[in-house]
Structure 1
Amino acid sequence: MSKVFGLAAGIDFPAILVAGLRARMAGQAPEAMAGVTLYLNTQRMRRRVTEIFAASGAAYLPRLRLVTDLGQDMLMAGVPAAVSGLRRRLELTQLVAGLLAKEPDLAPRAALYDLADSLATLMDEMQGEGVTPDRVAAVDVSEHSAHWARTKAFLRIVTPFFQDGAPDAQARQRMVVERLVARWAANPPQEPVIVAGSTGSRGTTALLMQAVASLPQGALVLPGFDFDMPPDVWDRMGDAMTAEDHPQFRYKRLMDALDIGPADVRVWHDAAVPDAGRNKLVSLSLRPAPVTDQWLTEGEGLPDLLAATSGLTLIEAQTPRAEALAIALMLREAAENGVRAALVSPDRMLTRQVTAALDRWGIMPDDSAGRPLALSPPGRFLRHVAGLMGRKLTSDALLALLKHPLTMSGGGRGLHLKLTRELELEVRRKGPAFPTGAHLRNWAKGRKDEGAADWGEAIAAALEDLAGAGVADLADHIALHRHVAERLGGVELWEKEAGQKALELVEELQAEADAGGVLEVPDYRDLFEAILARGEVRESVTPHPDIMIWGTLEARVAGAELVILGGLNDGIWPKLPEPDPWLNRKMRKDAGLLLPERQIGLSAHDYQQAIAAPRVVLTRATRNAEAETVPSRWLNRLMNLMEGLPAKNGKRALGAMRERGRVWTRRAVVLEAPVAPVAPAHRPSPRPPVGVRPRRLAVTKIATLIRDPYAIYARYILRLFPLDPLRPEADAALRGQVLHKILEEFAKGRLAEETREAAKARLMAVAEAVLLEYTPWPAARALWLARLMRAADFFLSFDAQRGGVPVTLEEKGRVALAGVDFTLEGTPDRIDRLPDGSLHIIDYKTGTPPTEAQQKAFDKQLLLAAAMVARDGFKGLEGSEVSLISYVGLGSNPKAEETPITEAVTDEVWEGLCKLVAHYMTEGAGYTARRAVMKERFAGDYDHLSRYGEWETTDDPVAEEVGR
């Protein structure tokens, strides 16, 4: 009689497993239960089984073991200890690096760690399935010679690990199972031995299950066995190439190995499934692709689908956020009603969003996966520190590190926070773009706070240590990393669960560092972040007892009345197979390895079990941040099958599922809606008291006063000054400043008898020196120097065209307006004295100079400067006349805009300025936002303050009395 049992999907597997075991042990002595050995697949399953046994009172427990812990038995003392997975990956990294150094065409160096990791995964699989490198090498590759040549090169790396040395974890697990099987063959145990909850998807586990099935009292209890699938479908699932992604394929392979059929799999316990009709519907929808034609014939045998899907709800949210909110609302209702509910999803972004949404009601779900270590405070801190190793320090990276809650943690952190805030303002206002230790020390010494100098010294010394990192052994890298992290992190770095987990990882890396070899700093950063990304941490919180978040594997544990299957989009659930750089599908099949579709099949089995719960909600987002999404293949099949069965009320049932889902998406919309509608802001035109309005402006700000008066109000009345970004860039403003400095220095050094070639050489030499001093970005320096080289001939021709001699360079002038308490200031780039004694005012532009029409209406900078000269606004130029103004554009297409100047022109522009200033010196004049911008896309420094976007430039401005 077969010793293989099954439990259908939807049954509470741990509870019914225990019930069936108790039924079989009924009538025996109480201590007989202690003789039972029960092998379970996960720690969570073992905890649940223990809880179920304990709930019935004091009694003997069976020996509860995990299939992954077989090597703990004292009888396995002769089996060598497994080498750590980290050490093996470090060794493989070195070997792959050596191979890539010899054969760089095989792969880019950026793929070093991905290749080493995938190679380690391939080794694990080969060892778990009992496949040797010789067997892989024997595969017929006549049609894949190019691919195979690369694979053979890498296989040479892993071959020695199969021959000698400490075994990997998978190799040791197989050795343990083989020894256990041999021991059982010689002396089979007479007590019951049961493997429950495993599908036998890995070769080693399948070997154990076969051995248990052959024992006198051995038994297998399979979770989620599909008793509804006809025998002919089982018979047609023999080819892995077409059936590997089916949820029952692993059982088919196991039954073939045991030489039994589906009819030989007996029911472990007669417990009823929550909905037998739904199980039949899902089973039919999941048929392998070659036999989905059976939908047409077997679909007529399904029960009425309105009843079969009454416990199903389908949510098709518009966005992932809407999906998360709908799920959170359902979980909140379950918590209020005392319903045990679980969200099952492989999408960790979705589960984190749901957790955040539940926090508004103070509900903390029991998340089986915990939190990624890389996203915990210690993980982020260690990543910040690693990111600074061997790199030029930027202001944003510095402030990100200083603002981290673990930096300088512990008592007395107030000084650190105060100095950090002041330092941020300093670097945003004055720079530098790339702070150094010397800069930090000098800045800190200038503070009046007690302890500031010591603070600056500590930070500077640590950052200098990081910046000095170079090529070194892995041990040296991790030692430096840890030393600086502990110096900056304070006493709380290694505290609590996340800190302890991070310390454990760092210490493991230090212990295995001798296998890491010599690394460049970027390689170390990539390695550390890859290792950190694998870590998970469960923090000490008191979760809600009835609200859980599970991975797909936990769906086998069941025990929830409401199960929400979230993220049902293709690419998420199921996750698409990872590209295999080593073997294609056919080569894997010929070598006896698992196909990439194995993971899809396992996920399908998890889905089939989870969807059979008493109440199930299927959720997906129809769009993500990039594009429309595709429903999960399983959901797609289910919907298509139901759509094609109108006689069974399939369409009506699907519509009812969707309508039940719309209830929750509508609630999510209401949850996000504001309590009261918020009216959009109007176009502002503030009217402050005349007494606070600006009494002086530069000629460059007159264009701003004309185009965007609100910017003048914000800057000169509210005294709001825009800060530079955290990471300064080589932008147009800096380029303009640098260009003006270059041309100023060039003009100061002009020689009387200088040739064109000598002038050009001197211009480029000045440019190189100025760029080196003021532009710390090498790429920007090279680009700007090249642009200036292209414009140099044009500039020199313009410079020599009229024979002018510079009389002022960047010197400020000022003129008070008659009858108004207002002074106009200006600093022209350059004023030349022409041979006829008149003046020529010049302004340099890095872009296109303003046209004559633009100058007349808005850009009056040089026209006003000429009017100031006429009114003796510049010392040393009294009594002079301006005959010409020129805007010289030195951009990609150099050109000059020249405007002759007469007394009538300067009088006209001055009269216009007086009217403009007089207008804004009256109570009724408002500073209208974006009054006459040149382009709609013009970005102003104060658009966010005026709430531009809530209003348009076609809206009428609304005057507001302010400051009274």
Structure 2
Amino acid sequence: MTPHVRFISADRPFLPELARAWLDEATRDGRDPADGVLFLPTRRAARAAAAAFLDAKGGPLIMPRIAAIGAADEAALGILAGLDLPPAITAEERRAILARLILGMGGRDGAPTTLAAALLLADDLALLLDTAAQAEIDLAETLPGIVAPDLAEHWQRTLDFLSIVTRTWPAILAERGAVDPAVRQRMLIDAQAERWRLTPPAHPVWLAGLAAAPPALGRLARVVAGLPHGCVVLPGFDPDLPDKAWSMLDHTPTHPQAGLNRLAEAIGVRREEVAPLREGGATGRETRVALLRRAFLPTAPAADIAAASADGLWRLDAADEQDEARAIALTLRHALETPGRHAALVTPDRGLAQRVAAELERLGIRAEDSAGERLADTPPAVLLRLLAAAAASDYDAVPLLALLKHPLVNAGLPAGRCRALARRLDLLLRAALPGPGFSAMRHAADHSTKPDEALSTFLADLQVSLRPLSLGPAKTSPASLLAGLVEAAEAIADELWTGEAGAALSEHLAVQIAALDALPDVEATELVPLLDAVLGNARLRRPRARDANPRVAIWGMMEARLQRVDTLVLGGLVEGVFPAEPEPGPWLSRPMRRAARLPDDAERIGEAAHDLGILIASCDEVILSAPRRRGRAPAVPSRFLARIDLALRGAGSALKQHPASHWSTRLDQPTLRIARPRPEPRPPARARPISYSISKVTTLLSDPYAIYAGEVLDLHTLNPLQAETDAALFGTITHDALKAVTRTRDWASAPDAAARLAHAFTSELRGKRLRRALEAFWLVRLERIAEWIVEIERGRLADLGKADDIKVELPGEWRFGHFTVKGRADRIERRGETLAIIDYKTGSPPADKAVEAGSAPQLPIEAVIAEAGGFPGFTGKVTELAYWKLSGGATEGETRALFGGNAGPLRAVIDAARTQIPALLAYYADPATPFLDAPHPGRKPYDQPFAGISRRAEWQEDA
């Protein structure tokens, strides 16, 4: 008897055609349409088939049983009793056992020694086991002989490692009387096939939608095709493929028809025996089939070349991934403008899918994403990950604040109160930089300028709540470690397990923690990677949201299989993504996989090409999208896209460029840039400052707007969290230590002066609680500075008279009119009737030209203050202004007198400051004078924190 094998051509919608054929046959045979069973590849295809039956009937009906063969179990197959099959070991138990075996190798042959890495490697082993089981390959027989003598030694070590799956694992399964999940599914399919072979059912059995099949499904398809009421329906079968091309498919696994060829051989049907499921009129998309046939053949008949057409096909050329996502979202939005039209994005790139979903949300469209979301990215799982990271860092500033600002965290308080305290802690950690640990934070709260008792209490209560998560030096069981994490999370988040995500996470963790119970103890430092390994790639698939648009969807390749929409976007068509880069896995090279008779990765490419062809041929409008850049590198267009382009070029045609790329560039770009006026704030005289520090005078010279923002608007920048230590902090440490030690003029005369100064440097340095490496690096520099300063100091003291004096960090002020300029001299010396002022610089001191130009007025202003008697106890004429560069490097220090000690230019800059500074302050005290932002391009300060406040980018010409 000829096997009952039919096909639905690629240009026809598969599921609607299948439903109509089922109903037509039921009417013709006079039977109930509900009588029978229909098997489809996936659950989503099964759900879509139910909708297709309703559409085909035009009203309600009792449908046949529709099951997904890809998730076959006893219930799906209709086997409820009578089978005596061994149970399948659970995935969680198998993972834990394999991880224990890997750890038991003690690092031999490159095996990991941490549990998190072992769990990830166990997943790869499980994948190898399932792949071999589906292909019905006995690894214990095939693996030992696949390493040729001329191959690298490490391949032999790999095979030694794989003895876990060739010897140890089968023994464990035999001892437990269990089998791998893929093996049990194969047993179920074979059992069902045998039942139907021995006792053919009286009702129809159709197996539809398979484009390729592992051996067990091939045997089932053979039995179904031989049943009296059985039928196998192939999707996208091409009866017009040239005979020569069909005969070569055994050696061309990447061809779209290669999987169907293998399935036909498994069924035992000749190509000419495969007939259409239904006869129908032209679809208008026959030229697409001809185009695809041409695209995947090295040569094609002239008729095929002439028939190839790009009608309804578009090329979407995007600059990068974000531009592609925006353009795709606009394309889907445009399709929805036509009433009743359905649109979908199909892509294997999850990053692109998420970006498109976000862009659609921006346009007010909620799209269903069939792949769901990673469980690890849901709010409750993110809370656990943040808590683990915070604990691992000893509750350092950034991880702790990220945890406290999570929307589910309330720490036993009303949500608003918890957020307010978290913001206060944020300000404290920016101002005090206390370092990690609750004790350091509480000390900072209690000893800040304004002690915050409520914040200190909050931190104490939080520390108690998090006590179950104790990361001590002793090892602990992984189950206990994760249980402590969960207990601590429950203590600070009342609604951790609410909602779909919370329930799914609770169920997942319960199963995973139970499976980890028998594993060896781990270091507490493994918490973060262990949690990541436990969460893995589990996904949360939510029910369709009420506000989701039913006419737009985002599908992966598996979910899109056998489905059809009016407008289809195939996104991310670049090499390595579409199709995915073949990955042989960490164990075997491609030649070794072939030697072991494991499935060839090229077959997956062929299956992807088949699915792509059906999608292109069956939808009215298809947009093929590929970005020119992916990440930071140019993207290579997919081989599928390149083949289609080449086939069209041979037919004298080309893909039309879709206008969405232009829509995307125009969406966020104004058609005309309107130059905004430069801000010219003119506060009243009473609001203008009349007291300036020397540093603020310098700021006034370069960026008056910064004075307006800071002094008039009272705006101040915050320190970054966990600020990187820089030269400014090194300078602060140096100045504070010098101030503490050099208070008396004769301090350097003591024999232990260098040691005392070095000790002061060390105390200041360690008080900052820096990284150990940085502390050690700076300590060496500071010790060298201490020795250099003592040597210089003793030289200067040698010619100092008894009536002379030296002061460090001496404050002073200059009053004129109603203005005051305040400053602090790092070092001032009185020698008879003359004064010398020295400024310590741990960085590079300003050049003489900068001082002469007025852009570095610090020392000239200090000289004016001194000559005006502004430094108590120091009066006279300033004859020396100098910089001491304190580097502590190869050159410990360096002294440089301003202008080389030349009295002429020195007196000129002092006199200029004496006349110009009062004029400057009077100018900016005038209510008519605006505080302009960056009026002098040549004097732009290094730090410009108020450029955003002044909205500089809106009015600056070169912004």
Opposite residue 846 of structure 2, the aligned amino acid is P
1:874 aligned to 861, 871, 875, which one?
871
Distance 1:802 1:641, change over 3 A: same
The residue correspondences of 1:367-386 to structure 2 (distance < 5 A) are 367-386=369-388
1:488 aligned to 489, 492, 497, which one?
492
Deviation at 1:608, TM superposition (A): 0.9
Q: Kindly report structure 1 stretches of 4+ aligned residues shifted beyond 6 Å.
A: 105-110, 444-453
SS in 2 for 1:251: helix
2:425 aligned to 423, 429, 443, which one?
423
Contact 1:343-1:548 at 8 Å conserved across structures: yes
In structure 1, the partner of 2:409 is 407
Opposite residue 282 of structure 1, the aligned amino acid is L
Q: Does 1:862 find its partner at 2:859?
A: yes
Aligned mates of 2:749, 2:411 — CA distance in 1: 66
Aligned mates of 1:202, 1:391 — CA distance in 2: 49
Contact 2:412-2:492 at 8 Å conserved across structures: no
Deviation at 1:381, TM superposition (A): 1.7
TM-score normalised over the length of structure 2:
0.88
Aligned mates of 2:572, 2:932 — CA distance in 1: 49
- The more displaced of 587-596 and 372-381 is 372-381
In structure 2, the partner of 1:961 is none
Opposite residue 487 of structure 2, the aligned amino acid is H
In structure 2, the partner of 1:504 is 507
Aligned mates of 1:384, 1:397 — CA distance in 2: 7
Contact 2:319-2:628 at 8 Å conserved across structures: yes
Contact 2:397-2:436 at 8 Å conserved across structures: yes
Deviation at 1:482, TM superposition (A): 0.7
Opposite residue 740 of structure 1, the aligned amino acid is H
In structure 1, the partner of 2:895 is 896
Aligned mates of 1:445, 1:705 — CA distance in 2: 34
The residue correspondences of 1:154-165 to structure 2 (distance < 5 A) are 154-159=161-166, 160-163=168-171, 164=173, 165=176
Aligned mates of 1:411, 1:92 — CA distance in 2: 44
SS in 2 for 1:75: coil
Contact 1:563-1:615 at 8 Å conserved across structures: yes
TM-score normalised over the length of structure 1:
0.88
In structure 2, the partner of 1:22 is 23
Contact 2:810-2:825 at 8 Å conserved across structures: yes
Deviation string, structure 1 residues 89-109 (Cα, Å, up to 9, x no partner): 333334334436234588999
Deviation string, structure 1 residues 699-758 (Cα, Å, up to 9, x no partner): 223222222222222211221111111332212322221222233344359856545xx5
Deviation at 1:866, TM superposition (A): 2.8
Deviation at 1:550, TM superposition (A): 1.5
Deviation string, structure 1 residues 264-286 (Cα, Å, up to 9, x no partner): 33222224555111111112212
Distance 1:936 1:229, change over 3 A: farther
Residue correspondences, number: 925
In structure 2, the partner of 1:958 is none
Distance 1:351 1:232, change over 3 A: same
Deviation at 1:879, TM superposition (A): 5.7
1:548 aligned to 550, 553, 557, which one?
553
Q: Does 1:842 find its partner at 2:842?
A: no
Opposite residue 597 of structure 1, the aligned amino acid is A
Q: Does 1:672 find its partner at 2:668?
A: yes
Distance 1:140 1:533, change over 3 A: closer
Aligned mates of 2:356, 2:258 — CA distance in 1: 33
- The more displaced of 588-597 and 254-263 is 254-263
In structure 1, the partner of 2:608 is 603
- The more displaced of 108-117 and 147-156 is 108-117
Deviation at 1:196, TM superposition (A): 1.4
Contact 1:563-1:616 at 8 Å conserved across structures: yes
Deviation at 1:616, TM superposition (A): 1.6
Contact 1:87-1:515 at 8 Å conserved across structures: no
Distance 1:667 1:764, change over 3 A: same
Opposite residue 851 of structure 2, the aligned amino acid is Q
SS in 2 for 1:812: strand
Contact 2:430-2:718 at 8 Å conserved across structures: yes
In structure 1, the partner of 2:722 is 727
- The more displaced of 524-533 and 850-859 is 524-533
Aligned mates of 1:20, 1:532 — CA distance in 2: 44
Deviation at 1:610, TM superposition (A): 0.7
Q: Does 1:562 find its partner at 2:570?
A: no
SS in 1 for 2:822: strand
In structure 2, the partner of 1:200 is 212
SS in 1 for 2:594: helix
SS in 2 for 1:238: helix
In structure 2, the partner of 1:780 is 774
In structure 1, the partner of 2:242 is 230
Aligned mates of 1:152, 1:374 — CA distance in 2: 34
In structure 2, the partner of 1:536 is 539
The residue correspondences of 1:21-40 to structure 2 (distance < 5 A) are 21-28=22-29, 30-31=31-32, 36-40=36-40
Aligned mates of 2:737, 2:295 — CA distance in 1: 74
Opposite residue 170 of structure 2, the aligned amino acid is F
Deviation at 1:634, TM superposition (A): 0.6
Distance 1:722 1:451, change over 3 A: closer
Deviation at 1:603, TM superposition (A): 2.0
SS in 1 for 2:601: coil
Contact 1:277-1:303 at 8 Å conserved across structures: no
- The more displaced of 63-72 and 676-685 is 676-685
Contact 2:706-2:933 at 8 Å conserved across structures: yes
Deviation at 1:635, TM superposition (A): 0.9
Deviation at 1:849, TM superposition (A): 1.4
Aligned mates of 2:937, 2:797 — CA distance in 1: 37
Q: Does 1:92 find its partner at 2:98?
A: yes
In structure 1, the partner of 2:364 is 362
Deviation string, structure 1 residues 286-328 (Cα, Å, up to 9, x no partner): 23xxxx2x1xx425533444xx322222221233333333333
Contact 1:390-1:469 at 8 Å conserved across structures: no
SS in 1 for 2:797: coil
In structure 2, the partner of 1:709 is 704
Alignment RMSD: 3.3
Distance 1:531 1:609, change over 3 A: farther
The residue correspondences of 1:118-157 to structure 2 (distance < 5 A) are 118-134=124-140, 135-157=142-164
Structure 1 gap segments, 5+ residues each: 956-964
Distance 1:408 1:109, change over 3 A: closer
Distance 1:579 1:944, change over 3 A: farther
Structure 2 gap segments, 5+ residues each: none
Aligned mates of 2:401, 2:207 — CA distance in 1: 55
Deviation at 1:346, TM superposition (A): 1.7
Distance 1:767 1:274, change over 3 A: farther
Aligned mates of 1:579, 1:739 — CA distance in 2: 58
Opposite residue 460 of structure 1, the aligned amino acid is Q
Contact 1:4-1:219 at 8 Å conserved across structures: yes
Aligned mates of 1:889, 1:510 — CA distance in 2: 57
Distance 1:137 1:24, change over 3 A: farther
1:281 aligned to 291, 297, 308, which one?
291
1:928 aligned to 928, 932, 935, which one?
932
Distance 1:450 1:788, change over 3 A: closer
Distance 1:843 1:609, change over 3 A: same
SS in 2 for 1:221: strand
Opposite residue 312 of structure 1, the aligned amino acid is L
Deviation string, structure 1 residues 890-915 (Cα, Å, up to 9, x no partner): 26554332234969464443233223
Contact 2:200-2:227 at 8 Å conserved across structures: yes
Q: Does 1:947 find its partner at 2:956?
A: no
Deviation at 1:638, TM superposition (A): 0.6
Contact 2:305-2:651 at 8 Å conserved across structures: no
Percentage identity across paired residues of the two chains: 31
SS in 1 for 2:828: strand
Aligned mates of 1:331, 1:49 — CA distance in 2: 24
SS in 2 for 1:810: strand
Distance 1:765 1:103, change over 3 A: farther
Deviation at 1:222, TM superposition (A): 1.8
Aligned mates of 1:584, 1:623 — CA distance in 2: 30
Opposite residue 511 of structure 2, the aligned amino acid is E
Deviation at 1:596, TM superposition (A): 2.7
Contact 2:218-2:267 at 8 Å conserved across structures: no
1:301 aligned to 304, 317, 322, which one?
304
